[in-house]
Every structure is written in C-alpha cells, then in structure tokens.
Amino acid sequence: MTDPVTRLSIRISEKQILTYALTLTAGGAAFLILLFLASWDIGLLVSMLITEDFLLVSGSVTRFLSGTGIMLTYALFCILVFSGLSKWTKGSQRRANILKTVVMVPMVGVLAYAGTVFIRSLVYSEPLAQIEILTSLGGVWSLFIFVYLLPLITGKYDPSWRETYSTRVRRTLDRWGFKAWRGYQSYFRRDYGEVYSREFERYRVQLDSLRAILSGMILLPLAVIFLPFPPLAFVTFILWIRMFSLDRTGFSVIERAFLIIIALVVPILFSYMFLLVNLSGLLLYFDVAYGIGILVSIAALGIIIIRT
C-alpha cells in the first residue's frame, strides 16, 4: 500500500500537462498578487528572494556537494592509475600494495585540507578572500553543470532513492558477481591493479548516485526559498513530489526542461550573491558543510579501501 505523497506523485506523473498547466496558472496569479502588494516593484520582489535563508540553506547544501566532488575527482584519478599500471602490478601483491600506498598520499592531503577548513572556520572565522569567492563560484557552477545540467540534457539524471524489487535483485546479483570476479582476479589471475580499478569505479558510481539523490532532496528547500517568485516555487515543489514515483516513471521532457531552468537560475543567483552580498556571517556554515562533504566522501572511500 502506497502512502498519500506517493499516490499524489503517481497521479502527477500520469497527468503531467494538466498538473503543470494548473501549477503555472496558480503561480502566475500568485505572482501578480505579490507584485501588486509590492507596488509593481520587481526589484523589491528580487530583494525578497535574495535572503540569508536562501544563502544559508542552498549555500550549505551546495558546499557539501562540492566537498564530495573533490573525492569524485580523486576516485577518477585512482581509476586511471590502477588501470594504467594493472600490468605492472599483475602477479605481485607487493607492487599492488606499494601502488595503493602511493595513491593514498593525496587522500591524506585532502584530509588535512578538510581539517584546516574546520579550524579556519570554527576557530579563526576568517573572512572570504576574493580568490576564495571566485573559487566557490566556480565550484557552484561546476556542480550544477555536472550534477544537474549535463545529466538532464543526456537524460541520465535520476535522483530517485527508491528501488523496485527487480532493481534490488539486479543489484544483489551484481554484488555477488563482482565478489566472484574479484576473487578470481585476486587469487587466480592475481591482477590486483584491475581489481583496485574496479573497486574505485564502484565507489565513484556510488558517490555519484548519492550526490544525485541529495540534489533531488534540496528541491524542497529551494521551493520554499523561491516563494517570492511563485511560478518557480510551485513547479519546484511539484518536481520534488515527483521524486516519490521516479522508480515507476522517470522525469519527462517537460520536467527535465523545468529542472534545467532551475539549475540555471540558482547559480546565477549565487553569482549575484557571492559578488555583491556580504557573506562573512555565513562563512562558518559554508565551510563546515564543505568540510563535512569531504569527510563523508573520505569515510566512504575508507570502506572501499578496507574491503580491498
């Protein structure tokens, strides 16, 4: 038996054109009312949108996801190293251990960097330097490009956290198959480099999936923050509800188009806020969220290393 939210999500997926037509109509009417109350001053509505709540919620989540991006890049580096040197490590556990130790050195550096982020924000509360502002902006844009825009354009964006029975069965069979393959490669072929490469590839896929799920979850706080612009707020809320039925029906072309618009609006707003709004009071939250993202990624990677 499905819950009320899931049933509503299924109904939305079945009647998308009607749902979004009504949503945009209601949002447009609400926007006109707000505009009337603001004496038809669009600038006032925009200033209502650019609030500290928007910065705090969206900025912290975005920085958390950016933190996981560092370890995704590192995982890709490890995949390339182990794949390229698989012949060198084949048949030699000693060489494989040496290579694994060498590639762990950058992770220690990343861990130290996460520590400095916490110390700087919690102990010293240093203000954002101009280069850090530009770096943060680059991180926001790259995040929305690679987590939202490119997957949406290619039809690969899937933030669903629910699995069907058949998906769970396939995932279980895949896990058993990988364990059998890993045992064969390790004990018979002794191709340790290839095994490590596949382990890091699975880690990258899992972390990528986690980022996609989190990117879908933040649609709800984004909907609340977008309330001064009702059409966007209402559509964002409906898209969040749709996440509850993505295991049945994926996002349609119309829904992907709406998500692309949202994924463009948010970094544009962030660009305005990072460059023109004083963020010193929110630096603590941003850096802590960023450091947590790095540490969570390292913890997940540590599990992979222990298994290998």
pLDDT exceeds 90 at position 21? yes
pLDDT of residue 25: 95
Rounded to two decimals, what is the model's pTM? Answer: 0.70
The answer to whether the CB of 270 falls within 8 A of the CB of 59 is yes
Q: Which residue has the tokens 């490009």?
A: 145
Using pLDDT thresholds of 50, 70 and 90, give the confidence band for residue 121. low
> Considering its fold, how many domains does the chain have in total?
1
d(CA 253, CA 243): 15
Mean pLDDT of 129-153: 73
**pLDDT interval class at 24 (50, 70, 90):** very high
Residue type (1 letter), 16: Q
Give the DSSP letter of residue 156. Answer: -
Average pLDDT for the chain: 75
Query: Is the pLDDT higher at 229 or at 204?
Result: 229
- Residues 182-211 have a mean pLDDT of 70
Residue 219 is predicted with a pLDDT of 82
- Structural domain of 55: 4-307
pLDDT at 91: 65
Q: Which residue has the higher pLDDT, 58 or 222?
A: 222
pLDDT by residue (tens digit) across 277-287?
Answer: 666 667 677 77
pLDDT value for 136: 64
Mean pLDDT calculated for residue range 237-258: 88
Average pLDDT over residues 252-269: 87
H or E segment and range at residue 302: helix 283-307
The pLDDT tens digits of the residues spanning 42-51 come to: 777 666 666 6
State in Å, rounded, how far the first CA of the chain is from the last one: 40
Cα 277 to the center of its chain, rounded Å: 25
The pLDDT score that the predictor gives to residue 50 is 61
